[in-house]
A and B are shown apart, each in its own frame.
Chain A
């Protein structure tokens, strides 16, 4: 990989970094919550639904951690990068729908105190929509980067590059 490609990102180090950042949100934070939340909440608070959600979060989040690797590994301008960003977004949407139930966290917490029960239902649809919008705009940024770096990427990699076989230069434009 040339120095110019490094300027466009990419490489094993970037891939590991992308996975590490993803793992912070998908594995480390929920693991910390699962460990310490019951201690903080006390015995009267039934957090079984929360811990179940956090376990689901971690188990399925591991897939997203793996999928984060190619988004860092491929340099900007490569088709691998844009494909992995789109794939990661689609997988994230599926994770979001499965783990967070599209923000409908009905029955997430119940508190039992002196024989009486308090149940808490939380619906976070607006916040979740903002989260989806933020992620979708991130994909748009990736497409912008792809557009900006595509020509330079192809010039650096040359015709021997595997991707180049699919690229046809017509009238000075790269498709």
Chain B
């Protein structure tokens, strides 16, 4: 065989093999025969360790919608649920001590809902995902980001976002610390979000959504007798007493007033000194969350600007 012909065949084989390899997962999804479609959502299975009865009630309502054929399963118990009975069922589920609960349809299949909200004393967490039939989920990256950005772009605090494949699709979770959101609002940041999608390293697309304007909160920073205090009013942080880095914070019973206090330097200096490997840990009410390094640094930068304001 001529060498030119040999190389031509080699070229065609290599390119066809590559195209088949990269197109297979997408094609398997488009030709999936289980009748399911690509949909944004997550299975209505709740980790009750990060929920109170109110939050669970909201999530159940979110899953049930106007359906009347759903039930909530927890432990060995299954009880019918509708939009109206969601709060009552949620209270019963929480008092049972179960660790997880699911909303299921008439055939026992777990219902898919757009998103699930979790909340504890320290953070708010939103979980959602994309359900994909076929093999696409194993080949595709998908993530959502949420953060806060000042109008001049000088401050950008990106919250932690984790995404993983769960066998049926991709699940992503965004964690927003209450204290970060309060400080962002006080500084006048907007909430920004973005979507990242990638396919087998072939391409990656990042879509950044513009800012959603948040209510600007009042704040006051003072240094009196070596005690530095930042007070943010109107923030809605859950009532708590806790620490962030080397500083203390308290949130009033109605969550209206957040006070962060530090001694032995300015607030930003104390926070920086309290970092562990560049990360700040927020602790309150038995809950704890360690922020990513980028978020920790941006949080301290924001506090510095508020000190100087």
**Residues of A participating in the B interface, judged by any CB pair closer than 8 Å:** 76, 115-127, 130, 133-134, 137-138, 140-141, 143-145, 147-149
Contact = CB atoms under 8 A, between A and B. Distances in A.
Interface of B: 2-8, 10-11, 14-15, 18, 22, 200-212
Given A117-B210, A118-B209, A123 B3 contact: no
Given A126-B202, A126-B203, A148-B3, A121 B208 contact: yes
Contacts, number: 81
A117 B190 CA distance: 13
B2 A126 contact: no
Given A116-B209, A116-B210, A133-B14, A144 B203 contact: no
A123 B7 contact: no
B206 A121 contact: yes
B4 A125 contact: no
Given A116-B210, A144-B3, A148-B3, A137 B205 contact: no
22 contacts: A115-B210, A117-B210, A118-B208, A119-B207, A119-B208, A120-B205, A122-B204, A122-B206, A124-B202, A125-B203, A127-B203, A133-B14, A133-B15, A133-B18, A137-B14, A137-B15, A140-B7, A140-B11, A144-B3, A144-B8, A148-B3, A148-B4
A143 B7 CA distance: 9
A123 B207 contact: no
A10 to B, nearest CB: 15
Contacts of A148: 2-4
Nearest to B8: A141
Contacts of A123: 203-206
* Closest 8 pairs between A and B when the two form their complex, measured CB to CB: A126-B202, A116-B210, A144-B4, A144-B3, A145-B4, A144-B7, A137-B11, A121-B206
